[in-house]
Amino acid sequence: MTHKTPTLAEVDAFAVPDLLANRIVRLHGVPLDFAEGLIKEAKRMLYLAHISDDSVAPSGRVDWAWHEMLMFTRFYKDFAEFIGAFIHHVPNPPPAVDTKEEAWEHIQATLGVPRPGTATYEKTKSHYEKFFNEKPDPLYWP
C-alpha cells in the first residue's frame, strides 16, 4: 500500500489535542494565538523534514511546540503516520561556554532565539521557502 503525501493545507488542518496550545501558553507565557502559530509551524517543520528528505532545525520558539507535541504521544504518532514519516527528536549537546557573552547567547537560544547562521537552521528556512512557496514568518522563524 502506497502512502499519499498530504498537501500543506492538509498538514495545517490536521487537528491537534485541545490541551496542546494551552500547555504552551502556560509553560512559556505566550498568548494563545502565538501558541497556535507555533504548533502550526512545528507541524510544517516535521512535514518539511519528510518531503525535503533532509535534516531540519527549528527555531528555538518552534522547538517549544515540538517538545510539547512529543508529550502527546498518540497525537505525535498519528501525525507521523499522516505525513508518512516519524521524525525523531535528536537533541544537540549544549555548547561549551567560556565567557559571559557565550553564556548569554546560550540562554537566548534556550528562550527561543535561534542561532542565526547555523547551517541546518538556515537550510531549513531556505527549504521552507522552496517547498512551501512562502517565506517563513519571522515571528516564529527569526
Span 90-119, average pLDDT: 62
Q: Is the pLDDT of residue 60 over 70?
A: yes
- Closest of 70, 48, 45, 68 to residue 58, by C-alpha: 45
pLDDT computed for residue 3 by the predictor: 77
pLDDT computed for residue 115 by the predictor: 55
- Closest of 90, 92, 41, 33 to residue 65, by C-alpha: 41
**Total-model pTM:** 0.84
**135 dihedral zone (left: phi>0; alpha: psi -120 to 50; beta):** beta
Q: Is the pLDDT of residue 34 over 80?
A: yes
Helix (H, G, I), strand (E, B) or coil at 19: helix
